[in-house]
Amino acid sequence: MDLTTTYMGMKLKHPIVASSSPLSGSVSNIKRLEDAGAAAVVMFSLFEEQLKHESAALEHLMTAGTESFAESLSYLPEVDDYTVGPDTYLDLLRRASEAVDIPVIGSLNGITNTGWIEYAQLMQQAGAKGIELNIYYIPADLTTTGREVEERYIKIVKAVKESVTIPVAVKLSPFFSAIGSMAKALDNVGADALVLFNRFYQPDFDLEKLDVAPNLNLSTPDEIRLPLLWIAVLYGKLRSSLGATRGVHTPIEVVKYLMAGADAVMTTSALLKNGADYLTTLRDGLQTWMEVNHYDSVTQMKGSMSQQNVADPTAFERANYIKTLESFKSDYI
């Protein structure tokens, strides 16, 4: 049984990757993920905005109230040797890369052009085997056009690709008018992988406090539909690898994503819910399914139900809607 796959140009022992989550917050956890069988680990994201905010907040809070009152000219010990900025992240990335044999992929969320480039370079220097660009952008400004948003993505990917030599993946938003064209454009500027889709943390309302609650909830298996559709559509049409993320809770979702055409299948929620060891369950489950269903390799499965390989390619397009309605009618009326 050959479970190997190639993702972002990297040969992985199987397609299941631990995606960006708090689980990758320490070397010991990353080691646990490796021990549980992860084929690769995407680190939690380095948020440029958070670093800037933290740096400014520390500066403000460490000096607040100082040099104001004769008895208490300062309130905290003078610390010369503290690090803000990306150092902590990079240090973890460096130590993790050294501690495990599987590829460790950095994840970056920038806000400035310089930030994207500098931090990507630093990640490469720290030993990242690849970088996933976590481009998170809510165009709340009503004057921003769709085209502008697209260009922003393309510009970032192009800039990062030009500044590093390790492979670069892009975690895509599902909110483009034409995902296919967007994917192609990113492919054209050199993206080594597209990860479908970024799961934006949409805020909830706290009715008790009448506040916007920025909490997050875990994904559910039925969330695989949208990425499944687009992976199936994109399979075979791009140079870049395809990563699937969202809704992977059982080996079944892994199989479906692979059949749609994913080169790697990522999971967060299932691991947060069940622990790092659940990776073993997913991997073993995939293997069992393949055995039961007589598949020899992941390569054999990959894209087997993509748009270009299914019996009815239009099933992924508008006809899909009609068929659904028809089946609905025939079943119940």
Partner 1 sequence: MTERQVTTIDGNEAAAYVAYRVNEVCTIYPITPSSTMAELADQWASEGVKNIWGSVPLVMEMQSEGGAAGAAHGALQTGALTTTFTASQGLMLMIPNMYKIAGELTSAVFHVAARSLATQGLSIFGDHQDVMAVRPTGFCLLASGSVQEAHDMALIAQAATLEARVPFIHFFDGFRTSHEVNKLTLLSDDDIRAMIRDDLVLAHRTRALNPDRPFIRGTAQNPDVYFQSRETVNPFYAKVPDIVQAAMDKFAGITGRRYNLFDYFGDPNAERVVVLMGSGQETACETAAYLNARGEKVGVIQVRLYQPLSARHFLAALPASVKSIAVLDRTKEPGATGEPMYLEVVNTLVEAQIEGTLPMPVLPRIIGGRYGLSSKEFTPAMVKAVFDELSKARPKNHFTVGIIDDVTHTSLDIDASFMIESDKVVRAMFYGLGADGTVGANKNSIKIIGDDPEFYAQGYFVYDSKKSGSQTVSHLRFGPDPIRAPYLVQSANFIGCHQFNFLDRGDVLKNAAQGAVLLLNTSPHEPEEAWDRLPHPVQEQIIAKKLKVHAINAEKVARDNGMGTRINTIMQTCFFAISGVLPRDKAIEKIKYSIKKSYMRKGEEVVRKNFEAVDNTLANLREIPVPAQATSTRKLPLVVPANAPEFVQKVTAMMMAGRGDELPVSALPVDGTYPSATTQWEKRNISNFVPVWEPDVCIQCGNCSMVCPHGVIRSKFYNEASLDSAPKAFRTAPIDARGFPDIRYTLQVYLEDCTGCGLCVEVCPAKSKEQTGRKAINMALKEPVLEDEKANVRFFETLPEMDRGRVDFSTVRGVQFLPPLFEFSGACAGCGETPYVKLLSQLFGDRLLVANATGCSSIYGGNLPTTPWTVNNEGRGPAWSNSLFEDNAEFGLGFRLTADKHLEYARELLLALAGPLGQAQVDELLDAEQLTEMDIRRQRSRVADLKQRLREINDPRAAQLLAVADQLVRRSVWIVGGDGWAYDIGSSGVDHVLASGRDVNILVMDTEVYSNTGGQMSKSTPMGAVAKFAAAGKQIGKKDVALQAISYGNVYVARIALGANPQQALLAFREAEAYQGPSLILAYSHCIAHGINMQRGLDQQHLAVECGHWPLFRYNPMVRESDENPFVLDSGRPKIPLKKYAYNEVRYKVLTHTNPAEAERLMDLAQQGINRRWSVYEDMATRSGGTFVPKFK
* Interaction of residue 71 with partner 1, rule CB under 8 A: yes
Query: What does the per-residue mask of binding to partner 1 show for 4-43, with x meaning CB under 8 A?
Result: ----------------------x-----------------
Q: How far is the CB of 44 from partner 1 (least distance, A)?
A: 15
Task: Round to whole Å and give the CA distance between 90 and 97.
Answer: 10
Binding to partner 1 (CB under 8 A): which residues in 82-121?
Answer: 82-85, 88
* Interaction of residue 52 with partner 1, rule CB under 8 A: yes
Binding to partner 1 (CB under 8 A): which residues in 209-238?
Answer: 210-211
Which secondary-structure segment (H or E) carries 213?
strand 211-213
* Interaction of residue 125 with partner 1, rule CB under 8 A: no
Q: Contacting partner 1 (CB under 8 A), which of 1, 61, 213, 325?
A: 61
Task: Round to whole Å and give the CA distance between 292 and 37.
Answer: 21
**Residue whose CB is less far from partner 1, 76 or 322:** 76
First-residue to last-residue Cα distance in the chain: 46
48, 23 in Cβ contact below 8 A?
no
**Residue whose CB is less far from partner 1, 77 or 292:** 77
How far from 207 is each of 8, 117, 145, 211, 217, CA to CA, in Å?
44, 41, 33, 7, 17
Q: Contacting partner 1 (CB under 8 A), which of 35, 59, 312, 317?
A: 59
Task: Using the rule CB under 8 A, give the single segment among 48-56, 129-137, 239-247, 297-305 that binds partner 1.
Answer: 48-56
Q: Six-digit token pair at 199?
A: 């799961």
**Residue whose CB is less far from partner 1, 50 or 314:** 50
**Residue whose CB is less far from partner 1, 62 or 310:** 62
Contacts of 140 (CB under 8 A, 6+ apart): none
Task: Using the rule CB under 8 A, give the single segment among 56-64, 142-150, 194-202, 280-288 that binds partner 1.
Answer: 56-64
Q: How far is the CB of 174 from partner 1 (least distance, A)?
A: 29
Task: Round to whole Å and give the CA distance between 175 and 146.
Answer: 9
* Interaction of residue 67 with partner 1, rule CB under 8 A: yes
Q: How far is the CB of 298 from partner 1 (least distance, A)?
A: 38
2, 299 in Cβ contact below 8 A?
yes
How far from 251 is each of 41, 267, 287, 289, 321, CA to CA, in Å?
18, 11, 9, 8, 27
C-alpha angle 138-105-21 in degrees, rounded to nearest 5: 55
* Interaction of residue 141 with partner 1, rule CB under 8 A: no
Binding-site residue total for partner 1 (CB under 8 A)?
36
Contacts of 188 (CB under 8 A, 6+ apart): none
* Interaction of residue 66 with partner 1, rule CB under 8 A: yes
**Residue whose CB is less far from partner 1, 116 or 257:** 116
